[in-house]
Chain A
Amino acid sequence: MVSEPGDGGLAVRDAVVRYGPGSGAERAARGSRTVVAVDGVSIDVAPGEVVAVLGASGSGKSSLLRAVAGLEPLAGGSVSWAGTDLAGVPVHKRGFVVMFQDGQLFPHLSVAGNVGYALAGRPRRERERRVVELLDLVGLSGYGSRPVTALSGGQAQRVALARSLAADPRLLLLDEPLSALDRGLREHLVGVLEETLRAAGVPALYVTHDQDEAFAIADRVAVLAEGRLLQVDPPSTLWRHPANRDVAAFLGYGPFLDAAAAAALGWDGARGLVGVGPDGLVVDPEGTDVPVLAGQARRGGSEFTVRLPDGSDAKLRTTDTTAHRGLPTTLPVRLDPAGCVLLTSAGHLDS
């Protein structure tokens, strides 16, 4: 699915976004100096592809998305669509629709008014039909006449999605669309979004800080840190082959053990750094006894914090729901290579 520039779809090349000193809130937040929010990022979105941009807050992911939409000027590099450079193309002529974190529904319009906003100019009947269709698609049949101020957060985001799709976008840009919602709703709506995007066949750039969201929705995930792109890969590749320690740590690997420390836990001859995944450490009666520092209940089991032989702390999950109560002083553990990742200084080898 990796596209080459010019074969259709979005191509961002060496994009740089800078915030000058003193633009309102930024000035207060960052002091009066220039901040490079996006630092030479290149990324593609092929037709029909969903690419997630994953990064912590302040990583520059929203700035990247705004630059693609034309809402933020590029200080360097280019954004092009199907081989055509979009420099100078105003926001409303790009055909890229942004779905904002808090929806940004027009408060003075009804649900139908919002969804139909991009359909102005179409015959009225067609417009109404399309609005009904889209509301069905997002599971809000019959909500058309309601004021948007009466919607719950989840409903509002569905309306925002329908409104975005009504514009028949060439590319959908989603800026943390679910971040403002609570966990259960988020997990549910990720599914709705994923299905809807697939059904509509719209390519999308999906900005999020949530690893699960990115993995659930994207064909490829791009990891962004401090304005730079660390890795772009399909979720499974990203998980199994993180490009470096930073990516691995961001995805949830840790601690990182050298060959000697790994050998002490039953993994001989590791040629590089072993990143311990969430399931990388297992209890094994044959394993090495390590001290237990703490235990906590988790859904469906317990989680222990143990001190590994090299002095680092690691988490260990078991399915025993009561184990954390009678806290053992030591546990026999070993590394499970299937739950770990092996990194070399040059990059990844294999697990």
Chain B
Amino acid sequence: MNQNGDRYFSVRQASLNGKVPVPFSFRSGGHHGVGGSPWAWAAAAALPIAFLAVFFVWPVTALVARGFVVDGRWSLAGVQEVLAAPRTWRILTQTFAQAVLGTLGSVLLGVPGAYVLYRCTFPGRRLARAVASVPFVLPTVVVGVAFSALFAPSGALGGLGLQESLAGIVIALVFFNYSVVVRTVGALWSRLDPRAEDAARTLGAGRIRVLATVTLPALAPAIASAAALVFLFCASAFGVVLVLGGQSYGTIETEIWYQTTQLLDLPAAAALSMLQLLVVSVSLILAGAARTRQERALRLSGNPVERPLRGSDLPAVLLTGTVVLGLLVAPMVSLVWRSFATADGLGLANYVALSGDAGQFTVSVWQALANSLATGLAATGIAVGLGLGVSYVLSRRPASVPGRRVMRTVDAVFMLPLGVSAVTVGFGFLITLNRPPLDLRSSWLLIPIAQAMVALPLVVRTLLPTLRAIDPRLHEAAATLGAGPGRVVATIDAPFALRGLGLAVGFAFATSLGEFGATSFLARPDRPTLPVVIFQLIGRPGAENFGMAMAASVLLAVLTALVMGLAEWIGPRQVNPW
């Protein structure tokens, strides 16, 4: 849904795909007699489902319905008008072009990167991996600002004419999504049983042939899965395109924002939301299909299979080094450098200026930061609380066919927010939660709730793998040793869940800090969050505002990186069922 959200989601996806020791083992019957009654599960799922219904399904449905109402009557006229407009088709074409090019670039660069960073060992690999995953955790607005600093006429790449260009946007999208491919494919590659390759070699195949006939086919599902996710992220990119695209380039997502906030054309925005839903659903279905195939097809080794770099790895190493330094490090360095650049040379002036009123707001950047932190804490509490309940329920494997069907449905329902644009959610909140029975217009909780909806899918996707990785026979062993359902949860599930909890909290918090799509609709002028302030700053003329935007972006990036670093540090060590 928002860039950050999706990104974190896919990190966990990667580890889900790579680390699963269990799904490959034989599992019988499920949890007969071990996991408590279906009613207990239903109760655990009820609150999250109600929350989802009120704060997601209702607003989004109301918004989509609005697209079919013209002058108080049901009509397709509004939708037809939007579909007939040349502007719509230009935006659709741009969305598609950006997504396809961004996906191609990410995959072509990411697969060699996955090999170098996850299959090979070399000094400094930890650092290289860390650098490669930083874009994951950067708020979209920050990335947009970093690249616009690079592409601006005064920037390091100012001469290349990348400002407000398709190429510039695609580069920024690849910056974001490179690590999606590296981590998804790398997690799998590092655990691919090397003996199939060895067998092919002994049968007389050269390196290239082994790569083409054994390795890549084995990785194909992971590559397909990563590509589908990257396509989804690119097609629904908002913050980064809004900042970099200017007047000339956009996505459906930015167009929804434009129609709503600039033209106040709600039927057009609603129609576009439906289009967006369609695009995103198709990518999600493709991603899901690829993932399923992957989980079925592969034989993985329990431990990473790694080896030192060899001479023949040189092309991959050169490419990956160039990408990491040129594509990933350069914009970040440029951002930091520009944040210190002032009219009088390098200095702290931009940071000092953060204490003053920011842009059109009557608050300082520091106050916006405080708002962001408070909002983030509340959003994290909501998302993690709900996520724990949902994950626990989804980690059960009912033995009956209808039970499994219900489970799959619940699973899909809670991934829905991933498939609906954050802009749509924010917009939907705006038009539904502003009157009785639920009037939250004046409540500061509105933003945390919206952000929690954005973060929920990835909280679930973080907690679920650790819970699902618990061999069901551990539950059975505990039960036969006399532990009742409550004690099984307390002594087996809880310790495992705790390992994922730190990471889930980190993801939720970082997502909330960087969330821009929904928040841009909901933030009140007197209580903006940091990304909203940064966006306002960069949109205003003047070197001073630009400098403040740089400094505030560095602040937000550092904060987000700190949160994620802490979460990764607390986060799950690998769970090794013996």
Selecting from A70-78, A215-223, A228-236, A241-249, the interface stretch reads A70-78
Task: With A95-B482, A100-B477 as known contacts, state yes or no: A70 contacts B33, CB within 8 Å.
Answer: yes
The reply to whether B482 and A98 form a contact with Cβ atoms under 8 Å apart is no
Against A, the Cβ 8 Å flags (1 = close, 0 = not) of B482-497 are 1111011001100110
The reply to whether B481 and A103 form a contact with Cβ atoms under 8 Å apart is no
In which size bucket is the chain B interface?
Answer: 35 or more
Selecting from B24-32, B58-66, B187-195, B275-283, the interface stretch reads B24-32
A30 to B481, CA, bound (A): 31
A193 to B515, CA, bound (A): 59
Q: Is B108 an interface residue (CB 8 A)?
A: no
Residue of B nearest to A20 (CB): B401
A90 to B488, CA, bound (A): 13
Minimum CB–CB distance from B349 to chain A (whole Å) comes to 52
One of B25, B33, B487, B577 near A91 (C-beta < 8 A)? B33
Task: With A19-B28, A23-B30 as known contacts, state yes or no: A107 contacts B575, CB within 8 Å.
Answer: yes
The reply to whether B32 and A72 form a contact with Cβ atoms under 8 Å apart is yes
Tell me the dominant secondary structure on chain B's binding face: loop
Residue of A nearest to B34 (CB): A91
One of B34, B476, B485, B495 near A104 (C-beta < 8 A)? B476
Selecting from A127-135, A148-156, A259-267, A316-324, the interface stretch reads A148-156
A41 to B400, CA, bound (A): 24
Q: Is A4 an interface residue (CB 8 A)?
A: no
CB-CB under 8 A from B481, the residues of chain A are 92, 97, 117-118, 163-164, 166-167
Chain B CB within 10 A, most for which of A20, A93, A104? A104
Q: Is B43 an interface residue (CB 8 A)?
A: no
Q: Is A125 an interface residue (CB 8 A)?
A: no
Residue of B nearest to A95 (CB): B482
Minimum CB–CB distance from B444 to chain A (whole Å) comes to 39
CB-CB under 8 A from B296, the residues of chain A are 28
Q: Is B479 an interface residue (CB 8 A)?
A: yes
One of A24, A95, A151 near B578 (C-beta < 8 A)? A151
Task: With A21-B401, A91-B476, A92-B480 as known contacts, state yes or no: A26 contacts B33, CB within 8 Å.
Answer: no
Minimum CB–CB distance from B324 to chain A (whole Å) comes to 34
Minimum CB–CB distance from A29 to chain B (whole Å) comes to 8
In which size bucket is the chain A interface?
Answer: 35 or more
The reply to whether A118 and B578 form a contact with Cβ atoms under 8 Å apart is no
A92 to B401, CA, bound (A): 25
Minimum CB–CB distance from A17 to chain B (whole Å) comes to 9
Task: With A108-B495, A120-B487 as known contacts, state yes or no: A149 contacts B576, CB within 8 Å.
Answer: yes
Against A, the Cβ 8 Å flags (1 = close, 0 = not) of B567-578 are 000000001111
The reply to whether B480 and A103 form a contact with Cβ atoms under 8 Å apart is no
Minimum CB–CB distance from A246 to chain B (whole Å) comes to 26
The reply to whether B480 and A173 form a contact with Cβ atoms under 8 Å apart is yes
Q: Is B544 an interface residue (CB 8 A)?
A: no
CB contact list, B398-415 vs A, under 8 A? 399-401, 404
Minimum CB–CB distance from B572 to chain A (whole Å) comes to 11
Task: With A107-B575, A107-B578, A149-B576 as known contacts, state yes or no: A24 contacts B480, CB within 8 Å.
Answer: no
The reply to whether B496 and A108 form a contact with Cβ atoms under 8 Å apart is yes
Q: Is B197 an interface residue (CB 8 A)?
A: no
Q: List 27 A-B contacts (CB under 8 A).
A: A19-B28, A21-B401, A23-B30, A23-B404, A24-B397, A25-B27, A29-B26, A63-B28, A71-B33, A71-B476, A71-B479, A72-B28, A90-B479, A91-B34, A91-B476, A92-B479, A92-B480, A92-B484, A94-B480, A96-B480, A98-B480, A100-B473, A100-B476, A107-B576, A117-B491, A118-B483, A149-B576
Leading 9 A-B pairs by shortest Cβ distance? A91-B479, A118-B481, A104-B477, A98-B480, A108-B495, A91-B33, A92-B479, A104-B473, A167-B481
Interface residues of A (CB under 8 A from B): 19-26, 28-29, 63, 66, 69-73, 90-98, 100, 102-108, 117-118, 120, 148-149, 151, 156, 163-164, 166-167, 173
Q: A92-B488, A163-B481 are in contact. List 9 more A-B contacts (CB 8 A).
A: A23-B399, A25-B27, A66-B28, A71-B34, A71-B476, A73-B399, A90-B479, A104-B578, A106-B477
